[in-house]
Structure 1
Amino acid sequence: MRTGGNFCRKNRPAREQSIMKNEQSSVPEVGNRVRLRAPIIGLLFAMGICLLTPYNNIYLQATPLGGGHFPLAPFFLFLGLSGLTILLQVIRGGATLLSGGELLTIWIQAVIGSGIAYTGFARTFLINITTPLHFAGTESRWQENIDPLIPAGLLPTDKGAIELLYNGIPGAREDSWLSMLGQIPWQAWLQPLFSWSVYILLAYLVMIFLLNIIVRQWIFYERMNFPLLKVPRMIAHAVSEGEGLAFFTNRFLLMGVLLPVILHLLNGLNLYYPSVPQMPTLLLAGPYFGQTGIFSGFHKLKLYFFPAFIGFAFLTSRQISFSFWFFFLGGGLFYGLLSLLGYSLPASELGVTFGPTITRPEEMQMLGAYGVFFFSLVWLARYHLLDVTRRSILWQKADSPGPEWLDVRISFWGAIIGTIALVCWYVYYGTAPLVAVLLVFSFFMITIVATRVICQGGLAYFTLTAAPMDGLIAFLGPKFFTGINALIAGISQKVLFVDLRESLMPSLLQAARVQRSNWPRGLLFSSILLTIVLSLFTSCLAMLTLCYRFGIRELQQDWAATTSIAVYENISRLMNTPPETGSWVFGFTMMGAVVMLLLVVCYQRLHWWPLHPLGYLTVYSSAMRILWLSFFLGWLCNALCMRYGGVRLFKKLQFFFIGLIIGDFSMGGIWAIIGLFTRMSYQVLPN
């Protein structure tokens, strides 16, 4: 971020070529060959994950196969394929089953599929669009306020089909999975699925086009780091160079692997055999802090120990990892300071909120912070964006090849046309044009910022604090969303733009980063598009089959049901008597904007400045409540390593932390496989 936007326009082509040359030379070349076999294998893996994830994650309640932005199943499969390739190299004297580039291609396709298979889409979709009919009661007044406004064809209206979805088809458990397909009442679902497929595919296309426009700025001009990619890229490079065996037998790596293996072996056996001793990975620190006073913000503090996330934190920039835990603890102290000064702000000050985790007015700082950070990204990229605009309007080709999948001219016009199509989709279903425009803009603004936080910060697990609609309500008032505007906005936001634990855009950015200039771009891009389309189809099919077989009531979908019901309750409140947000909300929003502006300016202008703006964006995220200790430990180890051993020690010690990641995910995969047969599984990673 620090270097972006500092290039003069007249020297831009020469500097651009110089940066690209340095970039190519500073990153180890990963296998030149990417053959057709790789996208085919990746597509099959992605579809297999989409089919298996609902059963494993929801019915078995096992370690999530798909979850976060470094999901378990894709990396476990990546390790397995790497191991087979290395074994073949050893046995046959250098023969390669898959090149490093092919391994990365398979991995990124599986990552994209796993994100769609769970919280990124499938986990809440069916419940979200059936909540108005199934959960409406006489006391909720939904039948008066919401039902008359539902556009024809947008939500399923067959009450019988919905009841079977929640209760299960009688006798379906004795039938085979294939026979279940014929028992699903498809007639009730065809129109709603078609309507939402248009919306989702349009949104995904706009994400692809926007990413294709900004990827050169982030990767080449700002030299953005990708901590989550370091382990797959190092493994792929070792395989391509024939050094896979030496990589996996590195003594530091083996020591790192050993720690999570022992930890999860004991804890996993304890689940099945309680006599086996257990090593706790969660400590409750809250009781050591009072509920009043300066430390009252920590009275629910928890200490989670996840070896893999300590590894990711070690590989992340020290400035970023320090900022994550520093701002998290600072947020707790800020709450205690407000309490100490006598400011007890009721949650009612928030009015109506759609945020996934927002509970207190001071958390509205994030709305202002997200807005300022987004516009700071635009400002840094101003020369690049102006250049893209000029080339697109004049239809001029780029001076030099970059990391883009498509010509930026196609992306420029595709993003505009796709955005207009999304706005038309909203207008077609009754949304006011101005509301539709602002809604689409806020959706993609938040998604772009979250993508930056996840990929640059190395956050494999990330959640938003406030939703995009919260920002519009805070600035424009609750009356901005009236009637059908609130209904369509709330439902569509829940579909793709609020549960960003597994958003598609960060995975696409990582795919662009691992791509090399000499790889077949047409093949890779088409394989990613096909993976997205077939993953959506497969995920819907798997969720419908699972729900009609067992019934949502038995699948313990409490989180999905609770969050979906909350959306419609908030919509109903906006329609009936929309409560005004308190003055504190606007004040904290402005406070967040000012703090973020200061952080951005200081980060850009002061080279000694220790804080990174990304840390402030995660201060109230529920993800940081789980990961703050991991980032503290990873930062501490990194700082001590560089202080007393320098780069030489870092190059050796990084293998230990890579071992933590490999060991954690390997044990997660093993216990997930065991759970498929025992129907009871030990959870290694956060859900």
Structure 2
Amino acid sequence: MNNSGEKKRKQPIRLRAGIIGILLAMGICLLTPYNNIYMQATPLGGGHFPLAPFFIFILLALVITLISRLFKTSLLLTGSELLIIWIETVIGSGIAYTGFARTFLVNLTAPVHFASMGNRWQETLHPLIPPSLIPSDHAAIEQLYNGIAGGRSMSWLEVIPKIPWSAWLVPLGTWSVFVLLSYSVMLFLINLLARQWIENERMNFPLLKVPEMISKAVDSGTTADFFLNRFLLFGLSIPVMLHLLNGLNLYFPSVPAIPTLILAGPYFPASGLFTGFHKLKIYIYPAFIGFAFLTSRQISFSFWFFFLFGALLYGILDLLGYSIPASELGITFGPTLARPEEMQMIGAYGIFFFFLVWLARQHLLDVCKQSFFLKKPDPEHSGLVDVRISFWGTFIGIFLIICWYVQLGMTPLAATMVTGAFFMIMLVATRIICQGGIAYFTLTAAPTDGIIALFGAKIFAGTNGLLAGMSQKMLFVDLRESLMPSLLHARHLHQGRKPVIILFTSLAVTITASMATSILAMLLLCYRFGIRELQLDWATRTTLSVYENIYRLATTAPDTGGWVFIFTITGAVLMLILVTCYHRFYWWPIHPIGYLTAYSSAMRILWVSFFIGWACNALCMRYGGITLFRKLQYFFIGLIIGDFLMGGGWALIGLFADTSYQVLPN
């Protein structure tokens, strides 16, 4: 049976898998804005293990297995092909919402629509905006926010010709160049580094564990045995009962509910040693407990340890009499950055990036030799495309992005620094997400915050700040859904599979088609109903915050306080100690990436899940060893599958109801 399964897994990927994945990804992109924004139903995406793709993946696995059994035929899709379809839909779902489309239109139009006498944007920001970046017709912008006349009574096809396309063609074309260049660089960078991370460092991928096990079961003909495993069924029953009761309680309040949120903050004082815990919340998410169990114990321990350590730091500073005002931060673009103490992450991210480069130094040297034709490339380890194409594609892509900035008015120095900061932070965040198994992740500080902390705010005066802020908001700050981690997952799933041309082309087409489809879906939704009537409060609020900071950069550009520099250096020193101990001492219990998430808003939600998952894993290995782990992992896989099945079920119900029960973090 195992040999047969191995043989099947080595079969070539057929074109049908790529096409099905592309079509499903486009379907998710079309439906996501309507479902998430207008219907306010359970989000189809969300995070780096999104709901809709996994729900579809499980249904496909069950359906093709059932058809094969009933009609005594070979599988319509192999397990490997199901993985390809799954990762394509994951990519599509990320682009469809927070990863790109959620703020895209607001980002382009906010400085015009929200300009007023009070904020003085018209006289300060408008002269800085290159005309090709925003719609030329201001009436088209107002229609976007108010909706076209009679739009609600029109069909979707009737709305299409009513959209003022002439006003949008130039900005859509200009931004598409930037976005596609950025996506290309991400793809090439991942292909360059994947061999180092996957083969040389043997990086674990906790978020891929469950899809890979299901794929293996499909290929080996043991799908029924997998889903009927008694440990899996027991684990699955817990989220099913939990969300069944809580979901029914939403629609029928007489049904009792089980609380999944505990406000622990009131149990801690507002001042003193435990002041950092005054707003502590305990969230219970079975799926994330499952992911934490499948993650390395060293990493899962580090996540919750550093979260508690970070909260304790506030209390220690309070006891020492240091009350550092938030005004010390100056101008920051970080999505959750609220206190100067959190600027530790700037230094920590920088040191960890150089640590990754240092670990990969031999691999990068080998890549350079191949790219300059000093060494013959190894076709077995070229990845999605030839390593030389990836190398030169990365440099050409980065150069063209810098040229794009310069052409629009940014200085070459600022353009180079911004582009470098963007991809440096993206690489580190990708490592955190993929190695740490964090399906829900948010940055603390933005890439531009690092530049401001180290070189001052004046570098972003005028057009420099406007272009940096707009483009950062476009792709490089809201990393709850982002492309680069999904590309690394895709590279791992594509490892050793042929033909490479189909795999690479499928990814490239999926990215391009998802971007185009998402823009179309958002334009249709906004012009039919109007942004004013849609639930885009988060997108509007965070985008306005960006332009308020750009305005401050253009007018006052206050310098950051001395504490920001102190905490940045502190973060760098602590990370240097962590990576040195991690690399030198085999017994060292703490992983450096835990420190990088200490102040992330995601860890405020997930720290308990990682604590429970770590504790269960540690107890399992201590008292049962690997034998017990192999059995017990099915229980935690059941938690994951149960959460996502219930999420998918309530999402379908939410399409036909006034309200929708939320299973996963929104």
With normalisation by structure 2, the TM-score equals: 0.98
Q: CA offsets, 1:500-546, max 9 Å, x none?
A: 11110100000010114142110010011000001000000000111
Q: Find out whether 1:393 has 2:393 as its counterpart.
A: no
Within the candidate set 285, 292, 295, 2:271 is matched to: 292
1:606 aligns to what? 585
Q: Find out whether 1:492 has 2:467 as its counterpart.
A: no
In 2, Cα distance between the equivalents of 1:609 and 1:514?
A: 30
Q: Find out whether 1:619 has 2:594 as its counterpart.
A: no
Within the candidate set 538, 545, 560, 2:517 is matched to: 538
1:341 aligns to what? 320
CA displacement at 1:29 relative to structure 2: 7.8
CA contact (8 A) 2:51 2:647 kept: yes
In 2, Cα distance between the equivalents of 1:311 and 1:256?
A: 9
Q: CA offsets, 1:8-27, max 9 Å, x none?
A: xxxxxxxxxxxxxxxx9xx9
CA contact (8 A) 1:33 1:99 kept: no
Alignment of 1:26-45 (within 5 A): 30=9, 32-45=11-24
1:7 aligns to what? none
SS at match of 1:139: coil
Task: Please list every run of at least 4 consecutive aligned residues from structure 1 whose deviation after the TM superposition is greater than 3 angstroms.
Answer: 27-31
CA 1:262–1:28 in 2, change beyond 3 Å: closer, same or farther? Answer: farther
1:330 aligns to what? 309
CA 1:659–1:59 in 2, change beyond 3 Å: closer, same or farther? Answer: same
Within the candidate set 195, 198, 202, 2:177 is matched to: 198
Within the candidate set 199, 203, 216, 1:224 is matched to: 203
In 1, Cα distance between the equivalents of 2:31 and 2:535?
A: 17
In 1, Cα distance between the equivalents of 2:111 and 2:66?
A: 55
1:188 aligns to what? 167
1:423 aligns to what? 402
Letter in 2 for 1:393: F
CA displacement at 1:350 relative to structure 2: 0.1
In 2, Cα distance between the equivalents of 1:213 and 1:112?
A: 19
Q: Which moved more, 1:370-379 or 1:550-559?
A: 550-559
Within the candidate set 480, 494, 512, 1:501 is matched to: 480
1:108 aligns to what? 87
SS at match of 1:610: coil
In 2, Cα distance between the equivalents of 1:86 and 1:291?
A: 57
1:238 aligns to what? 217
CA 1:439–1:28 in 2, change beyond 3 Å: closer, same or farther? Answer: farther
1:514 aligns to what? 493
CA 1:495–1:415 in 2, change beyond 3 Å: closer, same or farther? Answer: same
2:109 aligns to what? 130
CA displacement at 1:94 relative to structure 2: 5.9
Q: Which moved more, 1:288-297 or 1:390-399?
A: 390-399
Alignment of 1:457-496 (within 5 A): 457-496=436-475
Alignment of 1:241-260 (within 5 A): 241-260=220-239
Q: Which moved more, 1:168-177 or 1:210-219?
A: 168-177
2:615 aligns to what? 636
Q: CA offsets, 1:130-158, max 9 Å, x none?
A: 01001111111111110011112111232
Task: Give the aligned CA root-mean-square deviation in angstroms.
Answer: 1.4
In 2, Cα distance between the equivalents of 1:639 and 1:30?
A: 33
Letter in 1 for 2:308: L
In 2, Cα distance between the equivalents of 1:157 and 1:623?
A: 38
CA contact (8 A) 2:8 2:78 kept: no
Within the candidate set 25, 29, 40, 1:61 is matched to: 40
CA contact (8 A) 1:369 1:593 kept: yes
With normalisation by structure 1, the TM-score equals: 0.95
In 2, Cα distance between the equivalents of 1:679 and 1:546?
A: 18
In 2, Cα distance between the equivalents of 1:351 and 1:326?
A: 29
In 1, Cα distance between the equivalents of 2:42 and 2:591?
A: 32
Q: Which runs of 5+ in 1 are unaligned?
A: 1-23
In 2, Cα distance between the equivalents of 1:290 and 1:158?
A: 55
Letter in 2 for 1:38: A
Q: Find out whether 1:121 has 2:100 as its counterpart.
A: yes
Letter in 2 for 1:309: F
Q: Which runs of 5+ in 2 are unaligned?
A: none
In 2, Cα distance between the equivalents of 1:457 and 1:309?
A: 12
SS at match of 1:303: strand
CA displacement at 1:678 relative to structure 2: 1.6
CA displacement at 1:598 relative to structure 2: 0.4
CA displacement at 1:61 relative to structure 2: 1.5
Q: CA offsets, 1:35-82, max 9 Å, x none?
A: 111111101110000000111111111211011100000000000000
Letter in 2 for 1:581: T
SS at match of 2:496: coil
2:342 aligns to what? 363
1:282 aligns to what? 261
In 1, Cα distance between the equivalents of 2:306 and 2:8?
A: 37
CA displacement at 1:679 relative to structure 2: 3.6
Letter in 2 for 1:329: L
CA 1:112–1:212 in 2, change beyond 3 Å: closer, same or farther? Answer: same
2:631 aligns to what? 652
SS at match of 1:578: coil
CA 1:321–1:28 in 2, change beyond 3 Å: closer, same or farther? Answer: farther
Question: Identity across aligned pairs (percent)?
Answer: 66
In 2, Cα distance between the equivalents of 1:261 and 1:437?
A: 50
In 2, Cα distance between the equivalents of 1:208 and 1:518?
A: 17
CA 1:536–1:651 in 2, change beyond 3 Å: closer, same or farther? Answer: same
Within the candidate set 636, 646, 654, 1:667 is matched to: 646
1:589 aligns to what? 568
SS at match of 1:133: helix
In 2, Cα distance between the equivalents of 1:133 and 1:500?
A: 26
Q: Find out whether 1:441 has 2:420 as its counterpart.
A: yes
